[in-house]
Chains A and B, each alone.
Chain A
Amino acid sequence: MTADRAHPNYVAIWVWLVILMLTGVLATLLPLEKSAVIGLIFAVAAVKAVLVALNYMHLKSENWLIYALAIVPVLLVVAMTLVLFPDIVYRH
């Protein structure tokens, strides 16, 4: 938050984000298996999210507390989803 902190090149990040976005859209047109396509577009989405978080949200230059605040809820959501899979998805 100090005035003289070097910050990432916001425009370059934006270019990357747009490229990734187009990759994600074009991936749906690939003649691959459905699961592969879905894996691909979500990998792209995850990379985009990480780019935004690290650069625009300045997570790169934050301390461990902020990192924990960003990561723990995500892990919790993933864990909750996985735990609920047998119950909601594979109904017996």
Chain B
Amino acid sequence: MGEGTVASPVKPPQGIRPTMSHRARVDPIRLPVARTAHEDRSFWRTYIFSTDHKTIAKQYLFLALFMALLGGYLVYVMRWQLAFPDTSIPGFGFVGPETYNALTTNHGTIMVFFVAMPILLGAFGNFLIPLMIGARDMAFPRLNMLSFWILFASSLVIMSSFFVPGGAAAAGWTGYAPLSARTEYTGVNWGINLWLLAHALEFASFLMGGVNFLTTAITMRAPGMTFFRLPLLVWQQMTASVIFLLSVGPLIAGAVMLLMDRLLGTSFFVPEQGGDPLLWQHLFWFFGHPEVYVLLMPGLGAVLEVLAVFSRKSIFGYRWIIYSTISVGFLSLIVWAHHMFISGMDPRLAMPFSITTILISVPIALIVFSMILTLWKGSIRFTPPMLWALGFIVMFILGGLTGIVLGSAPVNIQVHGTYFVVAHFHTVLLSVVIFGSFTGIYFWFPKMFGRMMNVPLSNLHFLLTLIFFNLTFFPMHAVGLAGMPRRITNPLQYEFLQPVQSLNVYITLSALGLTLAQFLFLINFVWSIVAGRKAEDNPWESATLEWTAPSPPPHGNWGDTIPTVYRGPYEYSPPGVREDFLPQDLAPSARSD
């Protein structure tokens, strides 16, 4: 059957035709050759304007890590100010209240939109979806490249907003109107315009990315890769993309309206001229809440893959997880108003939304039970990715349970807008973003870069992160219960907060520890890319398709033929077989029993 199909693309090579027609019989919706590989492999086309999904995934990853440093720097300044108000901050100076508001706003925006989404969707989705479904690339490789570069432009815009007159956006990451709609309320003019522009670009980028992900997963699966043989990560990436596509629309409309309010003097959200500020909140949270699940899904997916591999056991209730994932996706679209219990919306709406909110914990609980039961009677290997996965479960349970407190409308009256909320969503989001991302990065690093990471350093990184994570966010719940408001600059301005100031100091020191611990990862990451031990194709003995490609996979992922799939993704320790796992592409006849 032909040679070098991957390296000499452009025209479909002769040799691949017979394979094609053969495959077409297996599954009519096949995608043909590596049509994206290009002969022109100059430096620019290979590393910068590449259309290879793996290179683009790495670009997302590097961009996100860089933005994480920026977001981390902002939080360092904020925490220092909270612990030692109105002192000069090493590496920054004094923080005025205007600056502080800009810091909170942009910390939230950057961490959610420029760190979490690029890693969990951009990097994991791009890298893994084609590899896991047995495709040579995304459905639209050039669109994929464009998505990344639009995100890159967006991150330049958000960074540049710090340097315009008036400073960066300071209306909170939720940008509640009318504070965000009129310059005189914040004193920030171009900062908020650029902030909105960055959002517009970001949404365009991930909209195109989502369309690409879904089209790829629907139309480009390898022969035999039915929907119920897809790894859960692919399911969850798909669900995340669907939720994103369906929820972001109203906010895009809202963002255009807000920008018109600011630039043209219209009055969509300004009450003096007949606008309605509550409308913005509805539009924002109609997207804002599903966004949480957009982030959660890929993190959950990465953890599930890792759990199966390192307990050498099938995921407990694969299909039930899929059904739960879909119901979470659906429910996430109808819970948004629980962010608005005390916002002044019609109080009769609170109970229906409280019920949907608390109901969403049901499918999530099922997934958590399934993760725990996967360990039952397993043969667990405590490798770095597995440690992160286990840490994810514990932290995610903690964060999920505090969500019940907030989801109950009457209790929400007391804790809404306090540090309890901050503690809750950091526990949830950081368990997803920190633990989920590191699970994935440590697990797929050998496939991404062809080298292994240093294990002792990884374990130390995990241990320190777990400890400092809890030392930071657990006391924050207490501070919140005591009533400390979010987004205040100086807790000492409040008499009733004097008793918790020592906790604030303590949280700040732990947060510093948490930040410093991440440098262990950066060192390990860079060092391993350059000088790590060479990785085999399948170092973790995993059954899914991405491990059948070379490490790192070449452009086009597989050689002449795309693997054919014969079974589900989690065939670990099957009875009657000597091996303790059956790769998805192992033909049944080739079984050695």
List chain A positions with a Cβ less than 8 A from chain B: 65, 72-73, 76, 79-80, 83-84, 86-88, 90, 92
B282 contact from A73, A84, A90, Cβ within 8 A: A84
Please indicate the chain B residues that have their CB under 8 angstroms from the CB of A88 in the complex. 276, 278-279, 282
Q: List 24 A-B contacts (CB under 8 A).
A: A65-B218, A72-B246, A73-B246, A73-B249, A76-B246, A76-B333, A79-B334, A80-B250, A80-B282, A80-B286, A83-B337, A83-B349, A84-B279, A84-B282, A86-B348, A86-B349, A87-B278, A87-B346, A87-B349, A88-B276, A88-B278, A88-B279, A88-B282, A90-B346
Contacts of A80 in B (CB 8 A): 250, 282, 286
User: Is B345 an interface residue, CB under 8 A from the partner?
Assistant: yes
**Top-3 shortest CB links A-B:** A86-B346, A87-B346, A87-B345
User: Contacts A76-B333, A80-B286, A87-B278 known; A92 to B246 CB distance under 8 Å?
Assistant: no
> How close is B248's CB to chain A, nearest CB, in angstroms?
12
Whole-angstrom distance between the alpha carbons of A26 and B334 in the complex?
A: 39
Complex Cα gap A92–B250 (Å): 25
B residues 531-546 touching A (CB-CB < 8 Å): none
Instruction: Give chain A nearest CB distance to B235 CB in angstroms.
Output: 16
Contact A92 B334, beta carbon cutoff 8 Å: no
Bound CA span A80–B333, Å: 10
Contact residues in A for B346 (Cβ distance below 8 Å): 86-87, 90, 92
Give the residues in chain A near B333, CB-CB below 8 Å.
76
- For A87, the chain B residues whose CB sits under 8 A away are 278, 282, 345-346, 349
Distance A86 CA – B282 CA, assembled complex (angstroms): 13
- In the complex, chain B residues whose CB is within 8 Å of the CB of A83: 337, 349
Interface string of B239-252 (1 = CB under 8 A from A): 00000001001100
The CA-CA distance from A84 to B218 in the complex, in Å, is 34
- Distance in angstroms from B207 CB to nearest chain A CB is 13
| Those of B520-534 within 8 Å (CB) of chain A | none
Report B348 CB to chain A, min CB distance, Å.
6
Nearest B residue to A83, CB-CB: B349
Digitize B547-570: 1 where CB-to-A-CB distance is under 8 Å, 0 elsewhere.
000000000000000000000000
Residues in A neighbouring B279, C-beta threshold 8 A: 84, 88
Q: Complex: how many Å from CA A80 to CA B348?
A: 16
Report how far A60 CA is from B506 CA in the complex, Å: 64
* Least distance between A65 CB and chain B CB atoms (Å): 7
Extra contacts besides A87-B282, A88-B279 (7): CB < 8 Å: A76-B246, A80-B250, A83-B337, A86-B348, A87-B278, A87-B349, A92-B346
Measured between beta carbons, the chain B residues less than 8 angstroms from A72 are: 246
Question: Which residues in A have their C-beta under 8 angstroms from that of B349?
Answer: 83, 86-87
Chain A: minimal CB distance from B305 (Å): 26
Report B205-263 residues with CB < 8 Å from chain A CB: 218, 246, 249-250
Across the interface, which residues of A come within 8 angstroms of B276, CB to CB? 88
Residues of B within 8 A of A92 (CB): 346
Question: Distance (Å) between the CB of B35 and the closest chain A CB?
Answer: 18
Complex Cα gap A80–B346 (Å): 15
Among A79, A80, A83, A87, the one with the most B-chain Cβ atoms within 10 Å of its Cβ is A87
Question: A69: shortest Cβ distance to chain B, in Å?
Answer: 10
Within 317-361 of B, Cβ neighbours of A (below 8 Å) are at 333-334, 337, 345-346, 348-349
B94 to chain A, nearest CB (A): 42
Within 8 A of A (CB), among B279-296: 279, 282, 286
A76–B333 Cα gap in the complex (Å)?
9
Closest A residue to B333 by CB, please name it: A76
B216: min CB distance to chain A, Å: 14
| B250 proximity list for chain A (CB < 8 A) | 80
Give every chain B residue within 8 A of A76 (Cβ-Cβ): 246, 333
How far is A57 from B218 in the complex, measured between Cα atoms in Å? 20
Which residue on chain B has the smallest CB distance to residue A65? B218
**Closest residue on chain A to residue B345 by CB atoms:** A87
Whole-angstrom CA separation of A65 from B227 in the bound complex: 14
Chain B nearest Cβ from A75, distance in angstroms:
11
CB-CB < 8 A to A73: which residues of B? 246, 249
On chain A, the residues within 8 Å of B286 by CB distance are 80
Q: How far is the CA of A76 from the CA of B242 in the complex (A)?
A: 13
From B249, B276, B345, B346, name the one whose CB has the most chain A CB atoms within 10 angstroms.
B346
Chain A hits for B218, CB < 8 A: 65
What is the CB-to-nearest-CB distance from A67 to chain B, in angstroms, rounded to a whole number? 14
**Distance to closest chain A CB from B252 (angstroms):** 13
For B249, the chain A residues whose CB sits under 8 A away are 73
Q: How many Å lie between the Cα of A56 and that of B494 in the bound state?
A: 65
Provide the bound-state CA to CA distance between A90 and B337, in Å: 17
Chain A nearest CB, measured from B276 CB (Å): 6
**Smallest Cβ distance from B537 to chain A, in angstroms?**
35
Closest Cβ of chain A to B278, distance in Å, is 6
